[in-house]
Amino acid sequence: MWKLEGTGMARERIDPDAVLCEGCGYEIGGLGEGYAANACPECGRALADSMPGHRKGSPLQREPGRGPGAICRTWWRVVRHPWRVWDEVQPAESGELASRARVLRLCTNAMAVLPVLALLVSVVYAESITPVAAALRWMVPLLAGFFVLLEVLCRIESIGIRTIGRQRGWRVTPGVARAVIAHASVGWLLAAVLIAGGFWLGRWFQGLVGVGRPLPAGDWLGAIVETAPLLFPAVGFLIGMLVFEALVYVGVRRMRFVNRVPAGGEADLAVLDEPRP
């Protein structure tokens, strides 16, 4: 059973093509052209802002042929407008939109590997631990593991938001989850940058405060100094993860009742659904 938020009514599982108010989930498909208010009777949202096809899509969804440029503009759009962008993103149910969502997620997570690679190479070079070429033998598996970790976290998050959606009566379809996760994954890119920056900040902090001196009992500052090159990157990763989670939360809230365009093109409000008794 689904319970539509704001209506107080329990329903059987909603038809994926049923037209809902994207603000509150009220079923507006049967209102027809004769409905004078042109707004949701439950929350007042304009009907035009809930129509299938009203979302113009993120830059990559609109301009798939632009390649890296469209991906970069999508990242920038999410970063600059983390709330407004979710009124543009289209659900990636199948076909081209689903493929673009996967490309966006994979490219973002792959790009997140680069700051970590730069960090490892710089550490090996600075410390003269081993020739960089030889170090690549253990760097590659480590970086691959980091990429797989991000993919697994995205998958877990996708399952989680769909489960929560079912529990709360939201229409979080696989396509909605796919689109939200793909666009929110820019948080992992931030996490990777903060990991690299956190390491060097920790090394700078050690040089500033001093490291290697005995730690008296209760010397919390000394403990932080000793662990700074590990502690700061860990904090950076957590910050990036929180950004990812925040973007997912906002995205799900803004797209939990999104209407998809039915097969055959854009739909008309008057004929999308029969009036409900």
Query: Do 182 and 110 fall within a single domain?
Result: yes
Report the half-sphere exposure of 145 (CA within 13 A, side-chain side). 5
pLDDT tens digits, one per residue of 103-136: 999 999 999 999 999 999 888 877 766 676 777 7
CA distances from 128 to 29, 199, 211, 261 (A): 67, 17, 20, 58
Query: Do 108 and 177 fall within a single domain?
Result: yes
pLDDT tens digits, one per residue of 32-58: 655 656 888 888 888 888 888 889 999
pLDDT tens digits, one per residue of 227-239: 888 999 999 999 9
Query: Do 145 and 194 fall within a single domain?
Result: yes
Query: What pLDDT does residue 274 have?
Result: 40
Query: What pLDDT does residue 63 have?
Result: 86
264, part of any domain: yes
- Choice between 263 and 217, residue whose per-residue pLDDT is larger: 263
Count of domains in the chain? Answer: 2
Query: What pLDDT does residue 266 have?
Result: 44
Query: What pLDDT does residue 53 have?
Result: 84
Query: What pLDDT does residue 277 have?
Result: 37
Query: What pLDDT does residue 11 have?
Result: 44
Residue in 182, 154, 165 with CA at minimum distance from that of residue 241: 154
Query: Do 88 and 39 fall within a single domain?
Result: no
238, part of any domain: yes
Query: What pLDDT does residue 198 have?
Result: 95
59, part of any domain: no
The tokens describing 47, both together, are: 């009907």
pLDDT tens digits, one per residue of 26-38: 888 777 655 656 8
CA atoms of 47 and 246, how far apart (whole Å)? 28
Query: Do 233 and 119 fall within a single domain?
Result: yes
Strand segments (E) across the chain = 2-3, 10-11
58, part of any domain: no
pTM of the model: 0.84
Could you tell me the residue range of the domain that residue 272 belongs to? 1-53+259-277
CA atoms of 143 and 110, how far apart (whole Å)? 10
pLDDT tens digits, one per residue of 144-178: 999 999 999 999 999 999 999 999 989 999 999 99
CA atoms of 158 and 152, how far apart (whole Å)? 10
